[in-house]
């Protein structure tokens, strides 16, 4: 605390050369400031700004190219999706037509097989009926002959 009061008392200036002393150094400092500003602008800021501007143009060009490519990709995607839906519809139609044709073929083959089996059964039935009739008639003859034999033996 004591050091602070000593510092404040020693910083007091009496007479000219105070805090705002306006003499010939002020225009000199202003000229130095303007001169340094111009030199820095020419040496540092102008090339830096040109590089920043080139980079900005490069980025904008790449962004525009990317947006064009994205738009083209979206168009191609939409086109491929439309083609895919049409191909799916055609495939579904083809499948239903194929199923319909195969169903008709199966029905005709089943009808043909059924007719063949019916004819075969009719033939077998007719054959069995004729064999039965033949067997019955031969059995009838055998029974008659046996009856005749029994009668002859009984009559003896």
Q: 128, 130, 131: which is closest to 120 by C-alpha?
A: 128
The CA distances from residue 12 to 1, 4, 20, 29, 105, in Å, are: 18, 13, 13, 25, 120
Residue 156 pLDDT level (bands cut at 50, 70, 90): low
In the chain, the DSSP E strands lie at: none
Q: Which region among 10-14, 38-42, 144-148 has the lowest average model confidence (pLDDT)?
A: 10-14
Average pLDDT, the chain: 87
pLDDT digits (tens, 9 = 90+) for 55-102: 999 999 999 999 999 999 999 999 999 999 999 999 999 999 999 999
- pLDDT computed for residue 65 by the predictor: 97
- pLDDT computed for residue 19 by the predictor: 61
Residue 155 pLDDT level (bands cut at 50, 70, 90): confident
- What is the mean predicted confidence (pLDDT) over 34-45? 91
- What is the mean predicted confidence (pLDDT) over 50-55? 94
pLDDT above 80 (res 21): no
- What is the mean predicted confidence (pLDDT) over 111-132? 94
Higher pLDDT, 25 or 143: 143
CA-angle at 64, arms to 71 and 53, nearest 5°: 170
Measured distance CA(7)–CA(71) in Å, rounded: 72
């Amino acid at each position: 605390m004591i050091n602070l009061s000593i510092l404040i008392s020693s910083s007091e200036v009496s007479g000219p050369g105070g805090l705002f002393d306006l003499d010939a150094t002020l225009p000199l400092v202003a000229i130095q400031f303007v001169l340094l500003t111009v030199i820095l602008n020419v040496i540092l800021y102008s090339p830096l700004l040109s590089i920043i501007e080139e980079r900005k143009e490069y980025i904008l060009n790449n962004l525009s190219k990317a947006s064009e490519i994205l738009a083209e990709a979206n168009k191609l995607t939409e086109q491929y999706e439309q083609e895919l839906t049409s191909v799916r519809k055609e495939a579904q139609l083809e499948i239903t037509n194929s199923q319909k044709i195969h169903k008709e073929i199966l029905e005709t083959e089943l009808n043909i097989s059924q007719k063949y089996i019916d004819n075969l059964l009719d033939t077998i039935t007719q054959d069995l009926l004729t064999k039965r009739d033949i067997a019955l008639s031969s059995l009838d003859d055998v029974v008659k002959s046996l009856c005749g034999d029994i009668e002859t033996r009984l009559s003896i």
